Structure 1
Amino acid sequence: MIDTRIRYQPATVTAPGETLADLLEEQCMTQTELAHRMGRPVKTINEIIKGKAAITPETALQLEKVFTTPAAYWLNHEAHYRAYLARRNEDDDLAAWHNWLDRHPLKELKTLDILPDLYSRGKNKNILLRRLLHFFGVASPTEWENFYGNMKTAYRRNKDQSDPYATAAWLRLGELQAASASCAPFDRQRFDAALHEIRTFTLLPPEDFEPRLKALCAATGVIVALVPAIPRARVSGAARWLNNRPLIQLSLYGKTNDRFWFTFFHEACHILKHSHKLVYLDELDGDPSEPEEQEADRFAANLLIPPEYAAELPTLRSKEAVRTFAGHIGVHPGIVVGRLQHDNEIEKSWMNDLKATFTWRETPVG
């Protein structure tokens, strides 16, 4: 779970050299005397007091012997001071990236409790920027551009009208779920065979099919991540490989069961048949031109409604006929309605009450 609490960061941190100078004053000891007691050059002591030289482990042990102040105290003090200086310098560097921050789906990430609920202005911008970098697991916006920005070259999608920052955020949510998921080594044959059992899950409500879907896929080596849609990403599903583990990531973009299940089986085809090096991003209602996307569409359509039954589809002109046909082939009636609408056998507004609508029960964040 991502921690969005805002931890206290002091505005200033006293340099260890200042503490040492105060200690010398209390002890009525000069820098020269301290240098002699430690066996160090006076110049070194002076540079430590001025903050020009760091307190090393060797120096900390020497100070411990002279003042009986634990070496760990001096090392922790030095570490905190150096972190403070680094953060102060980073604040100046991050200021140049404030416009970049605003390109990301901040509102949605706040809703998902990824980012703290702060207005994106003033000092808050650096707080949000650091949290965003932590969320993505990168050290700076430059690394984000090198990693997630360049990832666009690996995208294969049936339509490219998305926002790359929203898409990257949605994919990252899937990465976080996958990182905490356990699964068996990938077994292509077992996964292919499991798809026919998964097809029967179309008859179940989400609270029943979700755990079974994830468990069955994990047993065959495939991770399934359900991630809320981020509007500008315009993605219904994705298929990719992470650290040699296949991931199918699904949103509720479209919200109906016909779209959900078509997308799942579409992504399953990518896992079974296509490149391990590409990220397949799919949006329903797109116009796939890539051969791989066309193949995945055929795979999903034929698995849900086998070709030997397809000839009956134009004859289904009533809800009762759809229900009977769906019961005969063993899928939810909404699947059949979605296919009829896609094939232009019926209007898009017809029989939608036969579909099931899915909504998020809770926020499934990594």
Structure 2
Amino acid sequence: MNKISSESSIAFHPGYYVKRYLDFQYMKQSELAERLNTSEKTVSQLVNGKIDLNNDLIEGLATVFGTSKDLWQNLNNQYLEDKRQVELEKQFNKEKKILDKMKYSFWSDNGFVKKTRNSKERIQELRNFLHVSSLLVLARPNFIVQYKTAVKNVKEANIINSNAWVQTALNLANEMQVEPLDLKYLKSKLPEIRRMSLKDPEIFMPQLKAIFAKAGVAFVVVPNLRNCGINGAVKWLGKQKVLLAINDRRKDSDIFWFALFHEIKHVFQQKVGHTIVSADKSIGITSALDLEKLEQEADSFARDTLIDPKSYEVFVRKGDFSYNSVVSFSKNIGIQPGLLVGRLQHEGYIGFNRLNGLKLKYRIVFKQENNYKK
């Protein structure tokens, strides 16, 4: 093909003009090959835009057609320049389709990238922030978050946004200063972290981050991203630092604390070299790890750490799930009552329409000063 084009640009290969010269002079390609002292295959490839001009061809064409060498050199240079423009436009159109499946305001509103309505600027801003040469990388099912390609209901938007969400969490974690990893210290602090459920987020969040930082854990709460489906992520950042990320999509107190302890268990599982993501079951995440087993372990850990199994068994055996009973039991074991309500609802002891007033609705503010700086 001796010319290529995009919606607004076109690039003519020098072979396009060689063919016009041949037609004008009624010269066959075989004759031109003889005059150039080259093969007919070379001339055919040149005419069809499959090879570029070199110095020998430039000099030969100038001699055969009675033109200057500059003419062919300029045609070749112009082609390469126009070709680059065509390729950039085609690349932009492909990346624009990825951009359209992302909510740019997620990054601009949180100060990660500049606010702009220009699509080319948006693409470049996201490339820089997400550390990818092309947004097309985000659509790969095996980039950061591994997807089962056989799952029919996995949408490209899920893949794109889950990869982008995890990379955002990684950026934030990489900027955080923490002590060398100390899982024994973190384990010793679990009772204290559990008691934080009795406090307001404005109080417990700084305390929580301080404990994690001393334990070598970069703890980040990343705002929820549309079409993401990722609830949390754990990834080792070297041997002495680990990312623990959760999102703020589900703001009920019971879900927040369950998700947090779920991810803490993933930290203790120490799957170095892997990214463990906790996601909606419907989006088809896969891994070299046995994710189902790891998730079951994390669920059990969160459930039993927040509410002692033996005490809970005694409580449910009594069958009294009244307001006063729930509040009294929660007070005795030192947790916010909404955590107990959530578990009772989940296990079918009470309906999802009961005792919801005991659940707290958290408003976790994503602070500007914690944002990633380029």
In the TM superposition, what is the alpha-carbon distance from 1:169 to its structure 2 partner? Answer: 2.1
Q: Which residue of 2 aligns with 1:259?
A: 255
Q: Please, which of 332, 335, 341 is the counterpart of residue 337 of structure 1? A: 341
Indicate whether 1:102 and 2:97 are aligned: no
Q: Deviations over 1:202-225 (max 9, x none)?
A: 111001100110111111111110
Q: What is the percent sequence identity of the aligned residues?
A: 26
Aligned residue pairs: how many?
277
Indicate whether 1:221 and 2:216 are aligned: yes
In the TM superposition, what is the alpha-carbon distance from 1:191 to its structure 2 partner? Answer: 1.4
CA contact under 8 A between 2:234 and 2:263: conserved in structure 1?
A: yes
In the TM superposition, what is the alpha-carbon distance from 1:283 to its structure 2 partner? Answer: 3.9
Q: Which residue of 2 aligns with 1:153?
A: 146
In the TM superposition, what is the alpha-carbon distance from 1:109 to its structure 2 partner? Answer: 3.0
CA contact under 8 A between 2:231 and 2:280: conserved in structure 1?
A: yes
Report which of the two structures shows the higher radius of gyration computed on alpha carbons: 2
CA contact under 8 A between 2:326 and 2:341: conserved in structure 1?
A: yes
Q: Please, which of 294, 307, 310 is the counterpart of residue 309 of structure 2? A: 307
Q: In structure 2, do the counterparts of structure 1 residues 154 and 255 end up closer, same or farther at CA, with 3 Å as the change threshold?
A: same
CA contact under 8 A between 2:95 and 2:134: conserved in structure 1?
A: no
CA contact under 8 A between 1:274 and 1:292: conserved in structure 2?
A: no
Q: Which residue of 2 aligns with 1:204?
A: 199
- The amino acid that maps onto 2:247 is S
In the TM superposition, what is the alpha-carbon distance from 1:161 to its structure 2 partner? Answer: 5.9
CA distance in 2, matches of 1:322, 1:348: 15
Q: In structure 2, do the counterparts of structure 1 residues 259 and 175 end up closer, same or farther at CA, with 3 Å as the change threshold?
A: same
CA contact under 8 A between 1:161 and 1:234: conserved in structure 2?
A: no
Q: Please, which of 160, 168, 171 is the counterpart of residue 166 of structure 2? A: 171
CA contact under 8 A between 2:221 and 2:366: conserved in structure 1?
A: no
- What is the TM-score with the length of structure 2 in the denominator? 0.66
Q: In structure 2, do the counterparts of structure 1 residues 307 and 286 end up closer, same or farther at CA, with 3 Å as the change threshold?
A: farther
- The amino acid that maps onto 2:336 is H
- The amino acid that maps onto 1:321 is S
- The amino acid that maps onto 1:141 is L
Q: In structure 2, do the counterparts of structure 1 residues 226 and 316 end up closer, same or farther at CA, with 3 Å as the change threshold?
A: farther
- The amino acid that maps onto 1:181 is M
Q: Secondary structure at the match of 1:138?
A: coil
In the TM superposition, what is the alpha-carbon distance from 1:323 to its structure 2 partner? Answer: 0.9
Q: Deviations over 1:69-127 (max 9, x none)?
A: xxxxxxxxxxxxxxxxx9998566434432222222324334334444444xxxx2211
Q: Please, which of 350, 353, 364 is the counterpart of residue 349 of structure 1? A: 353
| Structure 1: 5+ residue stretches without partners | 1-49, 53-85
- The amino acid that maps onto 1:349 is N
Q: Which residue of 2 aligns with 1:78?
A: none
Q: Deviations over 1:112-167 (max 9, x none)?
A: 34444444xxxx22111111101101223355567x85223389xxxx96711121
In the TM superposition, what is the alpha-carbon distance from 1:330 to its structure 2 partner? Answer: 0.8
CA contact under 8 A between 1:239 and 1:279: conserved in structure 2?
A: yes
CA contact under 8 A between 1:104 and 1:166: conserved in structure 2?
A: yes
- The amino acid that maps onto 1:168 is N
Q: Secondary structure at the match of 1:331?
A: coil
Q: Please, which of 267, 271, 283 is the counterpart of residue 271 of structure 1? A: 267
| Structure 2: 5+ residue stretches without partners | 1-73, 77-83, 286-290
CA contact under 8 A between 2:98 and 2:136: conserved in structure 1?
A: no
CA contact under 8 A between 1:270 and 1:296: conserved in structure 2?
A: yes
Indicate whether 1:327 and 2:331 are aligned: yes
- The amino acid that maps onto 2:364 is W
CA contact under 8 A between 1:181 and 1:223: conserved in structure 2?
A: yes
- The amino acid that maps onto 1:297 is D
Q: Deviations over 1:19-63 (max 9, x none)?
A: xxxxxxxxxxxxxxxxxxxxxxxxxxxxxxx9x9xxxxxxxxxxx
